[in-house]
Structure 1
């Protein structure tokens, strides 16, 4: 059975062994077909994905050659069971089983955790950890990406960000605030400014008896927002800062910290 990994460097595996897909265009073609998630991709769209505005003179022949080469490679590793590259009236389509593409598995677990989170935050957090463990780097890695791949990669990255935010909220609800402090501390210091992570870190620190560090985290975020973007923290983050100063009951262990966002 073939497995396709796109949540990080593009990989194809068979029997838990890496299968080499050589050539920049072959890898871009595979990434595009996987990004389409079972929807046929027209020849014109594939040309744009592979060559942008500079297709070769006889691009029809070149595209067909790449399609044939990739189909043979997939047939060799999948045996027609878990993946098939087929031609449909509207274009080319890579048919895969639901559990053979890591992005599909991630999105399924993510949706399941969202539903479960309303009734069992601990179990939902476990499901999210399992889903997030599938990530190995940036979606589609260093594959040369056309418009479709870039759009889908951004959708996956956004879902990953939401999953992380949801996970930390669930951990706070489950009383596991101490466990998430190291990871949140790293995320807050990352180049991407994320005030939601800062908010969650401040709550986790406060509940761990580290009020001074919580206030320091706010000050650091405020300084970065001013220096890098020329803006103030959101009203939500400012309200949380005041809540910590005033020991708001919503910050106590077991309370619903989400009310502070309202």
Structure 2
């Protein structure tokens, strides 16, 4: 029995090396990608098993070996007769191959036909925080992009920003990388150029929108979101422009401390919370 277990461990190690080499080759081909592209895996990603996932293991024509097992913290599952098999970080197909090898090398089943199916996804959790309709923690049951998880959380609220902060957790290094993403681009409204895949430990945060207010003699007075740096002249254009009764050079900005209306230049940049007033022209 000791020899059988030794052969099993050797075969399992060889299988892991083969799988690791194939992954390494795949990574080296994309090593020239930009940092943001590195967080955008191709669409053929598959789900990788992780701790606390519950999997169904079926061995064809061997119901006594067909079980449900939970992946342990050390990425292993406990199999009948042969003991532990390490399947964490693998696809269902690769994990099935590891278990098949275990039974064959252990002399339990020759030419074993093994299939694996995840029945309870528990290892891939991601947090969605801030100004979204349903903030909280979500469990991923398939390869998902930022747009998918944002939809799970109900999308941004009416006061949420048009941009979000995506914190990408790297399992290998334990480090975080942060990206500011445009929600319109994520949702494909401005071309799907910023919609990376997400993984366990990632965080999506939608901050409160930065806004400015403009009232008085403009065609569309109200509250407007600041998506990028804009001048006061551009802010007037966003509000529909000045009416016939107004004059753009007469625009004033309210001092948040004193409440006084102060004269400003049209070339100045708009700041979050600015309140502008366009008075009537004096004829």
TM over 0.5: no
Instruction: State the structure with more CA Rg.
Output: 2
Q: Which has the higher helix share?
A: 1
Q: Which has the higher strand share?
A: 2
- The answer to which structure, 1 or 2, has the higher relative contact order (CA under 8 A, 6+ apart) is 1
